[in-house]
Amino acid sequence: MALATRALLAIGASIAVVVVGTAGFIAMGGKPPGVRDCPGGLVGADIGGPFELTSHTGQRMTDRDLAGGPSLVYFGYATCPDVCPAELADVAAAADIVSEKTDLTVKPVLITIDPKRDTPEYLSEYVPYFHDDMIGLTGTEAEIKSAAKAYRVYYAERPDEDFPDGYSMDHSSYIYLLGKDSEFITYFKYADGPEYIAEGVACHMGA
């Protein structure tokens, strides 16, 4: 076999090893060179989608109204006694930390899973407690169900005489980071903390 042919075969074998090795590395959860390892949960999942709801100011809003900058979206409800207020406080604090440390403006958003009680009027009194720029979104039960389904949010009404109207809401508790095109980027878990969330927002947004 000619020397030149042997050299070409050796180069080809080396390239194949690199390609297969890199593919295996990524498949096992590794990241190719240049990709940042940012705080947060699953990235690139099929989560999120279009919605049309009513804001706490009475205006109709869609997911496209959140475009232009990052958003932190939380699904909860106003009469939630503990988890929701803690998560919304983290969302508000994280938004402020990001704005202080970068040139990004984060939109904090609450989407209720309790539209029967959380009317626009009720949310207009509730969301300003957490942040002046927080957006509260509600709608019909069908609209809320559609939005929750898009974001893989679990919620269910549960009888509870200690709550107004005799029921409370069971629900999952995640904070969703949406990008500049209102697309899902990643999520944060309960008790991740505002500093961790802010770091994740800045990192994923390249700030």
Predicted confidence (pLDDT) per residue in 69-86, tens digit:
999 999 999 999 999 999
Task: Give tens-digit pLDDT for 130-147.
Answer: 999 999 999 999 999 999
Average pLDDT over residues 108-119: 98
Long-range CB contacts (within 8 A, 24+) of 96-100: 96/131, 97/194, 97/195, 97/198, 98/70, 98/198, 98/201, 98/202, 98/207
In this prediction, residue 6 carries a pLDDT of 42
On the question of pLDDT at 29 being above 50, the answer is no
CATH class of 52-204: alpha beta
Mean pLDDT score of the chain, rounded to an integer?
A: 86
More confident residue, 5 or 180: 180
Least confident piece of the model among 20-29, 103-112, 144-153: 20-29
Compute the radius of gyration of the chain from its Cα atoms. 22
pTM score: 0.81
In this prediction, residue 36 carries a pLDDT of 53
In this prediction, residue 84 carries a pLDDT of 97
Spatial distance between the Cα atoms of 56 and 131, rounded to a whole number of angstroms? 13
In this prediction, residue 166 carries a pLDDT of 95
On the question of pLDDT at 99 being above 50, the answer is yes
174: its two tokens? 């995640």
Average pLDDT over residues 194-204: 97
More confident residue, 41 or 53: 53
More confident residue, 24 or 120: 120
More confident residue, 22 or 44: 44
Confidence band (pLDDT; 50, 70, 90) for 42? confident
